[in-house]
A and B are shown apart, each in its own frame.
Chain A
Amino acid sequence: MLTFKRIVGACLLAVTAGSAMSAEKITLGVAIPTATHGFTGGIVWWANQAKKELEAANPTLKIIIKTAGSTPEQANQLQDMLVVNKINALVIFPLESASLTQPVTQLKNKGVYVTVVDRGLTNPAAQNAYVAGDNSAFGKLPAEYLGKKMGGKGNIVVLRGMPSTLDNERVDAFNAELRAYPGIKVLDTKYGNWNRDDAFKVMQDYLTRFKQIDAVWAADDDMAIGVVKAIEQAKRTDIKEVFGGAGSKTAVKRIIDGDKLIQADVSYSPKFIYDAIKMTATARLKGEALPAKTIIPSVLITRDNAKQFYFADSPY
C-alpha cells in the first residue's frame, strides 16, 4: 500500500513538473455564474467576448469558460479545470464568498494564478489579485448628482435590491453622501429585489402614499423600468428624475435619446469580467503579476458621455 502511494506521488510530481516546464503556454480557466438575470447575462457575454478577442490575438493562450448555477457546482468545476484542463491561471467570479474560499485556495496551492472578481473571498491569501466594481461610488454618485440637481431640497424615495452586503454598502454610501444636503428628505426605502415587477408594485404604493415626490433612486436599471411604468400609469408629474444604476443598454439608450425621467446613471458594467480576463491573460503571458487590488471605477453617465457606455451587441 505504501509503495502504491509512493508511485502515485511520484506520478503526480512528474505531472506537475511537466506542466511547469510548458509554462509559457497559458491555459486560463474562467468560472462565472450562469445567466439568470440581465447582469449575469452580461457577465457571460463579456467573458465570451474576451475569449474570442484574446485567443485570436495570442496563439499560446487557451481560455476555458465554465458557468455554474450553484456553489457546489462551481467548486466541482474548479477541480475539473485543474485536473482535466490543466489550467495554470484562473479568473473566478465566486457565487459565494465563504464557501468557495477553500476550493480556490487549493488551486492556488497547486500553482494556479488566481484572479478573483467582484465578490471577495474570506481569506485574501487565496487570491493573487482582486478586481471589482466600486459599490460605494454606486451609491455615492447618485446621491451627489440628485443633491445638486434638486438644488439641495426635495423628497426622494429609494428602492433597494436584496438584503446583502453589496446592497448595504450601496445604500449606506447613498445616505452618507446625502447628509451633505440636509434639505433633502428620504421618504422611505423598500426592497424591490432587483426585479422589474416588484419595483412596479413598490413604486405604485409609494405614489399612493406620498403626494409630492421629486426624485426616485431606483438603485438598478431593471428596477428603474418598473418605476417609470408606475409613474406613467399614475400620470404623476411631480417626479423629475429616476436614477437607476449599472448602466444597462436600455437605460443608456434612454439617456442618449434624452428621456424625461432617466437622465443619468452610474456605471457598474459586467464588462469588468472582460477587463479582469484581459488583464490576467496579458500579465501571465509576459510572466508578470497583477496589482493586488484593482477597482474598476464607477462613473456618472450623463448625456455627454453616454455613447461610450453603449454596447449594441451586449445583451445587457
Chain B
Amino acid sequence: MQPTPTTKLPLPKPSLERFRGYGPVAALILLCIAGGLLNPDFATVDNLMNVLTRTAFIGIIAVGMTFVIVSGGIDLSVGSMAALIAGAMIMLMNALAGAAQPLGPLATVLLGCALALLLGGVLGGAHGVLVTRGRIEPFIATLGTLGIFRATLTYLSDGGALTLDSTVADVYSPVYYQSLLGVPVPVLVFLLVAAGGAVILNRTAFGQHVQAIGSNEQVARYAAIRVDKIKLMTYLLLGVCVAIATILYVPRLGSATPTTGILWELEAIAAVVVGGTSLKGGSGRIVGTVIGAILLSVIGNIVNLTSIISVHLNAAVQGVVIITVAYMQRGRR
C-alpha cells in the first residue's frame, strides 16, 4: 500500500531559537539609526524608496534562493541567469519591434516578459534535472551553468551591450520607474513575491516537504516524500524568481552587458544566510531573507551617503556588519 504523504512534520522550535531570529531586525534598526545620525538625508522617504527599489532584484531572487537552500541545495548561477534572460528578452523585443509588421509596443513587452518567465522556468528546471536525475552536486552543476549562461550572453552581445529599442523602452520603463500609491512598482512586486514565498514555505505541504528534505533527506524519503520532484520544483521556483527580478531590472537601464548581474548570487546567498537560514538547510524564514536583503543594501547606501572613511574600505565595512549580524544569531546550526 502506498503510504500517504505526511503534510506536517513536527519541527520543534524552542523559544530561545525563536528569539535569535530577531538578530537581523535589531541590526537593521541599529543601522538605520546610525544612518540617520550620520546623514539626515538617510531618513527621507525618497532615499528609503531608492534603497527598497534596488533591494527588489536581489530580494526577489533571495526569496527563491531560500527554498533551494532550505532544501539543502545551492544555486550559484542566478546572476548569470539574470544576465542571459535580460539579453534574450531584449533581443526578442528588438526583433519584434524591428519586424516588417511590428506588434504594438505593449504586446512586445508582454511577449518579452513571457519569454523571460519561460526561460527562467526552463533554466531553473534544467538545474533541478541535473541535480536530481544527474546526481550532480548542486554547487558544481550551477557553477557550470554560471559559466555557460554568462558566456552565452557575452557571445550574443558580441562582448558589448544589448540595448533595448527606444520605442519599446518608453512603454516598458514605468515597470521600474513608476509608483503606485507612492510605492515603486519593484517594491510592490518584491512584497508580493515575499508574501507568496512565506505562505508557500510555511503554510503548504510543498513548503513542509522542502524543510523536511533539508533536515534529513533519507528520513524524508522514507516518509514517502517525492524528494526528487520537490527538489526540482525548488530550482524551478528560483528560476521563475530570477525571471521576475529580470523583468523588473531590464527597464532600469534598458540594456544587458556581460557585467549584468555579476556577483548577484553571492548577494542573494548572503541575504538568505544573514536572514537566519542555515546553509546546511532544514529551516529558514522568508521574513528573515527579506530583512537580510534590505540590510545588505542599507549598508551600501549608508557608506555612499557618508565619507568618513576611505572609499577603499567600503567592502570592509560591509564585511564587518555581515559578520556582526551572523554573530548575533550564532548557535543556529
Pick from B44, B50, B160, B307: contact of A204, CB under 8 Å: B50
- Select the residue from A209, A234, A250 with max chain B CB neighbours within 10 A: A209
Q: Is A229's CB under 8 angstroms from B252's CB? A: yes
Complex CA gap A191/B300 in Å reads 12
Given A37-B258, A41-B157, A41-B159: A229 and B253 interface contact (C-beta under 8 Å): yes
Q: Is B257's CB under 8 angstroms from A37's CB? A: yes
Q: What mask results when residues 85 to 121 of chain B are scored 1 for a CB within 8 Å of chain A, else 0?
A: 0000000000000000000000000000000000000
Q: What mask results when residues 5 to 44 of chain A are scored 1 for a CB within 8 Å of chain B, else 0?
A: 0000000000000000000000000000011111011101
Residue of A at shortest CB range from B306?
A209
B314 at the binding interface (Cβ < 8 Å): yes
A3 at the binding interface (Cβ < 8 Å): no
Which of A127-135, A194-202, A258-266, A274-282 lies at the interface with chain B? A194-202
Residue of B at shortest CB range from A35?
B159
In the complex, the number of residue pairs spanning A and B with C-beta atoms less than 8 Å apart equals 94
A315 at the binding interface (Cβ < 8 Å): yes
B259 at the binding interface (Cβ < 8 Å): yes
Q: Which residues of chain A are near B257, meaning CB under 8 Å? A: 37-38, 196, 222
CB proximity of B154 to chain A, nearest CB, Å: 6
Q: Is A42's CB under 8 angstroms from B255's CB? A: no
Q: Which residues of chain A are near B307, meaning CB under 8 Å? A: 188
B228 at the binding interface (Cβ < 8 Å): no
A165 at the binding interface (Cβ < 8 Å): no
Q: Is B161's CB under 8 angstroms from A250's CB? A: yes
CB proximity of B126 to chain A, nearest CB, Å: 24
Given A35-B258, A196-B255: A189 and B161 interface contact (C-beta under 8 Å): no
Q: Which residues of chain B are near A272, meaning CB under 8 Å? A: none
Q: Is B157's CB under 8 angstroms from A315's CB? A: yes
CB proximity of A93 to chain B, nearest CB, Å: 14
Q: What mask results when residues 272 to 300 of chain B are scored 1 for a CB within 8 Å of chain A, else 0?
A: 00000000000000000000000000001
Residue of A at shortest CB range from B254?
A229
Q: Which residues of chain A are near B305, meaning CB under 8 Å? A: 205, 208-209
**What is the total number of residues of chain B having a CB less than 8 Å from a CB of chain A?**
32
Given A37-B258, A41-B258: A201 and B159 interface contact (C-beta under 8 Å): no
Q: Is A195's CB under 8 angstroms from B301's CB? A: no
Residue of B at shortest CB range from A40?
B159
Q: Which residues of chain A are near B301, meaning CB under 8 Å? A: 205
**What is the total number of residues of chain A having a CB less than 8 Å from a CB of chain B?**
37
Q: Which residues of chain A are near B158, meaning CB under 8 Å? A: 35, 41, 45, 315
CB proximity of B246 to chain A, nearest CB, Å: 13
Complex CA gap A36/B255 in Å reads 15
A233 at the binding interface (Cβ < 8 Å): yes
Q: Is B160's CB under 8 angstroms from A38's CB? A: yes
Residue of B at shortest CB range from A67?
B159
Complex CA gap A42/B154 in Å reads 12
Sorted from nearest, which 4 A-B pairs have the closest CB atoms?
A41-B159, A35-B159, A315-B160, A205-B304
20 residue pairs bridging A and B, Cβ less than 8 Å apart = A36-B159, A37-B258, A38-B160, A40-B159, A41-B158, A45-B159, A197-B259, A201-B300, A204-B50, A205-B47, A205-B301, A208-B42, A208-B47, A208-B50, A225-B255, A229-B252, A250-B161, A315-B157, A315-B158, A315-B159
Interface residues of A (CB under 8 A from B): 34-38, 40-42, 44-45, 163, 188-191, 194-197, 200-202, 204-206, 208-209, 222, 225-226, 229, 233-234, 249-250, 315-316
Apart from A36-B159, A191-B311, what are 18 other A-B pairs with CB-CB below 8 Å? Answer: A35-B158, A36-B259, A37-B259, A38-B160, A41-B159, A45-B158, A190-B304, A196-B255, A201-B54, A205-B47, A205-B301, A205-B305, A208-B44, A208-B46, A209-B304, A315-B157, A315-B158, A315-B160
Interface residues of B (CB under 8 A from A): 39, 41-42, 44, 46-47, 50, 54, 154, 157-161, 163, 177, 252-253, 255, 257-260, 262, 300-301, 304-305, 307, 311-312, 314
